[in-house]
Each structure stands twice: as C-alpha cells, then as structure tokens.
C-alpha cells in the first residue's frame, strides 16, 4: 500500500514507511545538517526513506509569496502539504521546534530575504492599497502559532523517557537555593481580564456563528466571516479590558519600585500573536508614561509601535530629528522606575525590548529553577515581581514559589515525574483563537449569534479592548479523555484533569470529561478533577516524595507544564519525549522546546561552537522507527528503534551531551558519538544478522578513527563563522560548518 501527496510537480508516491523530518529554524535547523545525513544513511539500510519538509519561518514566507518570485526562488507550501499528511493513517512526522514569529521577527526575516535577492513586499503597518492589503493578509498567515494548529491534529503525550530521567537523577543539574525570605511573587489582574470576563456555551447543532460589533449608534459590522461550528463544540468568548489592564500595570510598576524588586513581564507574544503583543505594548507604554505622553504622536507617526518592543523603538529613533531627546527620555525613566529584569545585562537588553524574548512558560520555569531570581541591570540576580496580567493560569506559579519558600529548592536526584496529556487537537482552546481575536476599534457590544439569529453571547466593549473567541471541538475532548485513561492504565500513576469549575470554559469541559470517563473501565485507576492551583499543589507534594503524576490539561497549560516540570526535573524541556497520536491514526513526534536556540546560534557564529543538544531528536527518531515497524511490518525498522534507544542510553551514561565551553564536544561531537554507539549496537544485535553485517565495518571504522574524528571536530572551534543568514542561512555554508570532519564524512559515505 502506498500513499500520495500533491506537490508543485503533481501527485507523488510516498511509501508508508517514509519518515518526514521537518526543517525548521535556528539551532535545531543547524544541527539537522549534521544529524540528518547520519539518520538517512542508517535508515536506508532498513529500507526507510527519510524526507525533509521546510516549515521554517523563511520557508513559510517564501511559500506565501511564491507566485511573485522568480521561478528558481519559488518554494512549495510544505506546511499545507503536511496539513494533508497528518490526516493520513500512515503519517509519520518528526517535528522540530520552529519560530512562532512576532511582528518584529517577521520584519527581520523579510528584510534578510530581501537582502538575499527575494523580491518580497515590505510588511505594511496600515495597508492603503489592494496590494498592501493582500501582502498583509499573506504575512499574517505566517505569524505566531502558524505551524502547530496545522500539524497537531491529535492530542499530546509528553513525558521524560526512563533513560533521561535516570540520567537526571544520577547527574543532577544545579538548582538555585530558595530562602523563606524570598520576595519573589506573581501578580495578575483581579478583574477585567480574560479569566474574569469569560463566557462559554456548548453548540447544540452544527452551523455558523456571526461575530458582529454593534456600535453605540446601533450600526453593526462583521468582525470576521461567519464561523463554522460543529454539534457539541464548546465556544468561548471573553475580553481583556484595556483600561483595567493599564491600571493594573501601573500598580505593579509602582509595587516593584516600592518593594525594590525587579519588574518582569511574562506573556506569550509568539503563540498568542494578536492579544499578547498588544498587552506587551501597554506594558512598554506604562513603564515609560512621560515619554509616551510627550512623544507618543511622534513615535506613532514614525511607525514605531510599542507592541514591537522597546528595542525596535530605540533602533528607529536613529532616523528621527527628535531621536536624541526621545532616547534620553527613555533612559531617564528607565533610571527612575523600578529595576527592570534583563534578558542580557551585558548588552542592556531588558525584557521589554523584544516581545519574543521572555516567553512565560520557559521564563517562569527558569526563574523558579534560579532561586526565584531574574537578572537585574547590574548583572546580578535579584528577587522579582513576575507580572502575568491574565489570571487564568498565573496562580500556579505562585503555588510553586510558596512551596519552594516552605520546603526549599527541588532536588533532581530524588524527584518523581509529572508527565502530561494535553488537549490540543484541531486548534483546541486559546491557541486556536488567532482568527477570532480583535482589537476593538470603537465602543459598543460584540454580539455572537447563530444562523437563526439567536444570540449566543453579548459582551460590552470599549475602544482598544481585546476580544477573543475560542473553539474546542468534541472529538478532541473524547480522544483526550481516552488518552488520559490509557496512560493511567499503562503507568499505574494517578491522572489529574486540571480544570476549574469556577471558569466558564472549564465548567463545560468538566461536564464532558465526566460523561466520557463513564465510557471507560476505571477500575484500579486514580483519576481526579482539580482546579489548577489544587492540582499543582498535589503534583508538587508527590514529586518531592519521588512519586509520578499524569497532568491532564488544556492547550496552554500543556505548554506551561511541559516546560515547568522538565526544567525542574531534567534541567531542560528539550529532553522530553513528545508523542502526538494523530486522530486518524498517524504519528507526530515532537522534539522538545527551543527557547535557548537563538543564543546557541549567536555562539556558533562567534565561536564555531553549537551547544544545542539533539537528544530530543534521538528520542523522537526511536519512536518514529517503532511506528514504521508497527504500521508496515518492517522488522528492520524495529531493530533501528531498539538499537537507537540503547545507543541513546550509552550517549547519556557516557556523558556525550554537548559541553558548556570551548574545547569540549559540541553538537557535532555528540552526533558522532551517537553514530558510533548506534553502529556498535546494530553490529552486535542478533535479531537481523544481515543488517548487523552491514554495520560491522562501519562500527569498526568509527571506533578506529575516534581520536582523529574528535580532533577534527575540536580543531574548528574558537573562530567566527558566516552562516549566510539567520532566518535563511546558506545551505552550502552551513553544511560545511556542521560537517567539518573529513574522516567522519568519508566513513559515513561508504555506508551510504
């Protein structure tokens, strides 16, 4: 049996055993140039093709404008192709971390591509022509969480593999000490936010919903085209009141100043690409109120938007006649205000500089690991006021901080584990809100009604408020419950649904969860429903006793917890195994977080040293090969999976992960040792003698040449390199940089 996919060249046959390996961005994409030749060479011996699809930010931009480019520059829409692929039961995709672009990142990527000779239009701020409106519509499709809603056509199963967990216990990472007198805390809104204003309903029939803004003079305008809904689907509507938001931000800035702690804003402007950049922009405004009162009109006229961050504004001042005065005003307010948390103290980069620099799930977990501290302007750690405006999930972090104050830092050597079953299929919950989130242009009422004119929601809004709707379909919820029960049955660990009956959306989900749990045999299982603050306290108590718990959460909490607990347990979320059983039967295998990827790229450019750890790819590959074996009956694929798993165990046991400094193994060296251990495991296995014979020579050659190969890999370190681009690097340059060992390349080529 074979499948077919449609490309620019027409219909193309794809064997069921094909693994599709995504090409993404930054450090994971650079590491791919070193790892993928190894994977392809080994997989070919088992008859498993490994193909690549480009879902990088640059690739998505070029695909969006392919019809306007020269023929040689055109890119196929690989993301759209994969959107079809994930509906096939034989789908087998390894998904590396990708950029969820903010507007500043988009502009930087477009500028780089233009400099490389691609005739792309500029990103228009306020389109005035049909051409500009068309360009902006295309660019909006690649902003924010453009990839995940397309590929994640299943719910997620994220956990630390046993070998990784054991390594973390025997080689515990450093955890910052906590003291009872720590003044670090979390601040969130008490009213006027998305949590407080949420309304929710369950659709009683399939149809469409109309979303209209009714002005105070009774005129109405559609905020978007009619929205298709399904029977049983949960629909939510809510609003962030900007007046309440600004008042809250002013209060927290004053509080941080009075308490002499760092002020630190934590949002997710990458994934929540409409709402959170606006929230971020108001934080910039309120931190520099005098500057915006005096020069706000000048900045607006120059297209310098606080939503893009302080860094973009300061860079843009260079072209303004009043630029020096405005820069001085920013500097004066920065000095007089509370100390501002820093992304990079040495470079003067605050966490208000760029909206994608401080991502709440990664930044809060890192703060908790680091004694509750962030870095101040003086380059020293300090207690911090973590400002998370929306109350929906902010309090879970306060519970963790209170636990650390009471019991001290976590000890990775003794910790249990908190895995996650996450509801995310079919753009479930908040991350599916992009095309239903609006900055309200005038005072009035947002009315949501069905095709018969029946009003589902009415919400009073003021100019500037942020209105948001979300959808959560019924089939993903049923699948989510089934996956949670399956994991509880497989592990024997308690499973806890993190749902708050006081929240409108959660109340409707709770009703469905209870109904669908009744369809399963729950004998001998512990399955609970708890509000998030209760659930996290329960998990913390168990993890400190070395016990395991399955967190069963919605989409945003899935993101938060699969950074929080892995960073506490393992030191990083990049070492998690993330399996997405697709609704139609295929598999999507994700490789962890890439929050540190930009810093790794900077280090590679400066020192020819890539610290990125590809362990997540190793873990995903093993499961992917296993899926090939199960789906196609290819026994050799199972041998690849089993031997790769053992090789990964040796990789950890012998500490072949990338080091932290020049002169030690980096990403390329770690790939060599994986190749060596994998070849040795394949050569020594007895399940397939012919396959073993194919790797006997390779294993011997790699072992004999170990010293030479390592020396060649180390010799290139310590010198700057040129990638030819950050978002769209030159493949020939990167390949040469990432494969510097002539000996290793020649040995591997003989296998191919």
Query: DSSP label at 308?
Result: G
- The b/e string for 554-580 (b: 16+ C-beta within 10 A; e otherwise) is bbbbbbbbbbbbbbbbbbbbbbbbbbb
The tokens for 371 are: 């004694």
Position 408 scores a pLDDT of 96
DSSP for 604-648 reads: HHHHS-----THHHHHHHHHHHHHHHHHH--HHHHHHHHHHHHHH
pLDDT higher than 80, residue 16: no
Residue 669 in contact with residue 657, Cβ under 8 Å? Answer: no
Residue 214 burial by CB count (10 A; 0-12/13-18/19+): exposed, middle or buried?
middle
Q: pLDDT tens, 584-635?
A: 999 999 886 655 567 889 999 999 999 999 999 999 999 999 999 998 999 9
Residue 113 in contact with residue 728, Cβ under 8 Å? Answer: yes
Give percent of the chain above pLDDT 70: 97
Q: In the beta sheet, which residues pair with residue 552?
A: 421, 497
Given the structure tokens 């902010």, which residue do they identify?
Answer: 394
Instruction: Give the domain ranges of the chain.
Output: 2-153+582-751
Cβ atoms within 10 Å, residue 205: 11
pLDDT higher than 50, residue 5: no
The tokens for 444 are: 């009035």
Q: Is 348 left (phi over 0), alpha (psi -120 to 50) or beta?
A: left
Q: CA nearest 210: which of 455, 428, 571, 421?
A: 455
Q: Tell me the average pLDDT across 513-520.
A: 98
- The b/e string for 388-416 (b: 16+ C-beta within 10 A; e otherwise) is bbbbbbbbbbbbbbebbbeeebbebeebb
- Rounded to whole angstroms, the Cα distance separating 280 from 299 reads 17
Position 10 scores a pLDDT of 45
Could you tell me which residues come within 8 angstroms of residue 578 by beta carbon, excluding any fewer than 6 positions away?
156, 157, 158, 562, 589, 590, 591, 592, 616, 620
Per residue, what are the HEC states of 140-191? HCCCECCCHHHHCCECEEEECCHHHHHHHHHCCCCCCCCCCCCCCEEECCCC
The tokens for 735 are: 């390949």
Position 594 scores a pLDDT of 56
DSSP for 481-497 reads: HHHHHHHHHHH---EEE
- The b/e string for 223-232 (b: 16+ C-beta within 10 A; e otherwise) is beeebebeeb
Residue 517 in contact with residue 481, Cβ under 8 Å? Answer: yes
Give percent of the chain above pLDDT 90: 84
Q: CA nearest 413: which of 172, 163, 160?
A: 172
The strands making up 50-54's β-sheet, listed across from edge to edge, are 50-54, 19-23, 92-95, 587-590, 577-581, 156-159, 418-422, 549-553, 495-498, 527-530
Q: CA nearest 242: which of 275, 289, 215?
A: 275
Q: pLDDT tens, 271-288?
A: 788 899 999 999 999 999
Q: pLDDT tens, 139-182?
A: 989 987 788 888 888 999 999 988 889 889 999 999 999 999 99
pLDDT higher than 60, residue 61: yes
Question: Which sign, positive or negative, has the C-alpha torsion 248, 249, 250, 256?
Answer: positive
Position 152 scores a pLDDT of 86
In 46-129, which ranges are continuous DSSP H helix? 57-64, 78-85, 103-115
DSSP for 395-410 reads: HHHHHHHHHHHHH-S-
């Amino acid at each position: 049996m074979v499948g077919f996919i449609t490309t620019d060249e027409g219909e193309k046959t794809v064997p069921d055993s094909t693994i599709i390996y995504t090409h993404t961005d930054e450090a994971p994409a650079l590491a791919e140039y070193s790892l993928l030749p190894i994977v392809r060479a080994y997989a070919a011996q088992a008859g498993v093709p490994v193909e690549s699809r480009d879902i990088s930010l640059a690739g998505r931009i070029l695909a969006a404008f392919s019809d306007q480019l020269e023929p040689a520059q055109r890119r196929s829409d690989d993301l759209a192709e994969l959107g079809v692929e994930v509906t096939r039961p034989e789908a087998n995709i390894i998904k590396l971390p990708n950029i969820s672009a903010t507007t500043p990142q988009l502009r930087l990527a477009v500028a780089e591509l233009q400099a490389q000779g691609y005739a792309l239009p500029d990103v228009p701020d306020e389109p005035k022509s049909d051409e500009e409106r068309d360009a902006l519509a295309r660019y909006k499709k690649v902003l924010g969480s453009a990839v995940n809603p397309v590929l994640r056509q299943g719910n997620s199963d994220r956990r630390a593999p046993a070998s990784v967990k054991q390594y973390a216990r025997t080689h515990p990472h450093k955890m910052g000490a906590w003291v009872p007198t720590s003044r670090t805390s979390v601040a969130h809104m008490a009213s006027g936010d998305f949590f407080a204003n949420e309304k929710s309903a369950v659709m009683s029939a399939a149809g469409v919903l109309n979303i209209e803004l009714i002005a105070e003079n009774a005129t109405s305008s559609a905020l978007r085209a009619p929205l298709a809904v399904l029977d049983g689907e949960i629909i939510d509507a809510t609003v962030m009141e900007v007046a309440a938001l600004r008042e809250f931000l002013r209060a927290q800035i004053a509080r941080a100043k009075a308490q002499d702690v760092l002020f630190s804003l934590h949002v997710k402007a990458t994934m929540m690409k409409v709402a959170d950049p606006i929230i971020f922009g108001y934080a910039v405004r309120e931190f520099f109120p005098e500057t915006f009162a005096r020069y706000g009109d000048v900045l607006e006229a120059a297209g310098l938007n606080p939503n893009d961050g302080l860094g973009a504004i300061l860079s843009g001042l260079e072209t303004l006649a009043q630029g020096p005065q405005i820069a001085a005003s920013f500097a004066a307010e920065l000095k007089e205000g509370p100390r501002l948390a820093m992304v990079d103290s040495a470079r003067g980069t605050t966490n208000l500089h760029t909206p994608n620099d401080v991502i709440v799930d990664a930044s809060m977990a890192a703060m908790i690991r680091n004694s509750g501290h962030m870095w101040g302007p003086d380059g020293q750690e300090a207690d911090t006021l973590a400002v998370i405006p929306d109350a929906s999930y902010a309090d879970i972090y306060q519970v963790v901080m209170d636990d650390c104050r009471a019991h001290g830092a976590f000890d990775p050597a003794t910790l249990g584990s908190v895995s996650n079953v996450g509801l995310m299929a079919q753009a479930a919950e908040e991350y599916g809100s992009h095309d239903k989130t609006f900055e309200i242009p005038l005072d009035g009422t947002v009315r949501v009604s069905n095709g018969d004119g029946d009003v589902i929601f009415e919400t009073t809004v003021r100019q500037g408020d942020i209105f948001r709707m979300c959808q959560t379909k019924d089939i993903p919820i049923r699948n989510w419950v089934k996956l949670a029960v399956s994991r509880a049955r497989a592990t024997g660990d308690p499973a806890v649904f993190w749902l708050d009956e006081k929240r409108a959306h959660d109340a409707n989900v709770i009703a469905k969860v209870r109904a669908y749990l009744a369809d399963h045999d729950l004998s001998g299982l512990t399955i609970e429903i708890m509000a998030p603050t209760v659930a996290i306290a329960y998990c913390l108590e168990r993890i400190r006793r070395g016990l395991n718990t399955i967190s069963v959460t919605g989409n945003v909490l899935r993101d938060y917890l699969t950074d929080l607990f892995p960073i506490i347990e393992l030191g990083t979320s990049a070492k998690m195994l993330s399996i997405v059983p697709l609704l139609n039967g295929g598999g999507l295998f994700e490789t962890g977080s890439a929050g540190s990827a930009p810093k790794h790229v900077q280090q590679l450019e400066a020192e020819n040293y890539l610290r990125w750890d590809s362990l997540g790819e190793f873990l995903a590959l093993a499961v992917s090969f296993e899926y090939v074996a199960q789906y196609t009956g290819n026994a050799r694929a199972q041998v690849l999976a089993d031997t790769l798993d053992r090789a990964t165990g040796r990789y950890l046991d012998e500490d072949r992960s990338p080091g932290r400094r020049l002169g030690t193994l980096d990403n390329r060296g770690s790939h060599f040792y994986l190749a060596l251990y994998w070849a040795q495991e394949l050569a020594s296995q007895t399940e397939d003698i012919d396959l073993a014979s194919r790797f006997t020579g390779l294993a011997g050659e790699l072992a004999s040449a170990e010293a030479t190969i390592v020396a060649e890999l180390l010799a290139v370190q310590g010198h700057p390199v040129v990638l030819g681009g950050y978002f769209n690097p030159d493949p020939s340059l990167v390949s040469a940089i990432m494969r510097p060992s002539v000996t290793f390349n020649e040995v591997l080529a003989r296998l191919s």
